[in-house]
Chain A
Amino acid sequence: MTLLELVVALPLVAMLLAGLSTMFFLLLHSCWADISDLELQQQLRLAAVAVTQDMMYADRAKIEEDGISLWTRSQSSLPRQIVYRVRDPGGKAILTKNNQPLTGGSIYGDIRIVKFQCRKFNEKTIVLELGGRNAFTGKILVIETAAVLENKRSGGGADE
């Protein structure tokens, strides 16, 4: 290989490598963003399912400013309180169930709750709006669902 060939070949190889590495990192970022947004969806879906399932089996519900309290009956027939709250540890809002985190950061993403709103639709139906933001991509997703307090038929209900 002559010096001239080397002079021509080296920049070409460098350009090729730069292009390839840019492509690789863009792709890596894109993959992580996708996974992270899927994590946002999963966390919100599971949290919404948990809240609505507990609502369905609740005797009574009390809607509060930053959450909801539900009273259900355990196997021993003793009333049990379930409290869903949005907590803000270090500026990262998470949803908790009896102080245990339901959403939050994981290896896939940093999910922050931006909306947790319960409102009465009627005496036994509560509409839930749950919104989250993926801190990695900035994507915000809000889902709305509703649940009927099935046990309302035998007393209890939703209070505000």
Chain B
Amino acid sequence: MNEHGFASVLGLCLLLLMACLSAAVIGIAQKERVAVDGFAAGLQAQSYAESGAEKALASLDAQILKEVQSAGKPVCIMSLPTEENAPLKSCQIYLAFDGDSYVLMAVSCVADRKGQVFVHFQPTKDGLKIGKWER
């Protein structure tokens, strides 16, 4: 092997290294893009679940509470596919009776991301006594 041959091999190795680096960097950038889009969908899903939970809480009446209590298992009380956004956006709200209180669970899906909210509450004569929200 002479000096000129060595320089050529070294140059090719360097080019190969640069190509690999470029591919890796482009791959990372693409993954970051997907992650940011995923965050956005996650945010939409979470706020849609909260929206669904609020709507369900506002729609609850004594009849539904009685039915859920007698069912003895979680019952789907509301489903929210909005006309213009369906099927990209959906939210199901379940209600379960847990001894002395109720647990409302809203599960939403936006694109491929899910959001969920659990709300604990107790019915009182003045309305609902909302406990903690778990997100």
Contacts and interface: CB of A to CB of B under 8 A. Distances in A.
Given A19-B22, A146-B50, A125 B58 contact: yes
B44 A148 contact: no
Interface of A: 9, 12, 16, 19-20, 23, 26-27, 30-31, 33-34, 37-38, 40-41, 44-45, 48, 121-122, 124-125, 127, 139, 141-148, 153
Question: 9 shortest A-B CB distances, which residue pairs?
Answer: A146-B54, A125-B58, A146-B51, A30-B29, A145-B47, A143-B47, A145-B51, A34-B36, A37-B36
Given A34-B32, A144-B47, A41 B40 contact: yes
B51 to A, nearest CB: 4
21 contacts: A16-B18, A19-B22, A26-B26, A27-B26, A30-B32, A30-B33, A31-B32, A33-B33, A41-B43, A45-B43, A121-B55, A122-B58, A125-B55, A127-B51, A141-B40, A143-B48, A144-B51, A145-B48, A145-B51, A146-B55, A146-B58
B47 A34 contact: no
Give the secondary structure class of A's interface: helix
A148 B11 contact: no
Given A37-B36, A121-B58, A124-B58, 19 more contacts: A9-B11, A12-B15, A16-B15, A26-B29, A27-B26, A37-B37, A44-B43, A122-B59, A125-B57, A125-B58, A127-B51, A143-B44, A143-B48, A144-B47, A144-B51, A145-B50, A145-B54, A148-B58, A153-B127
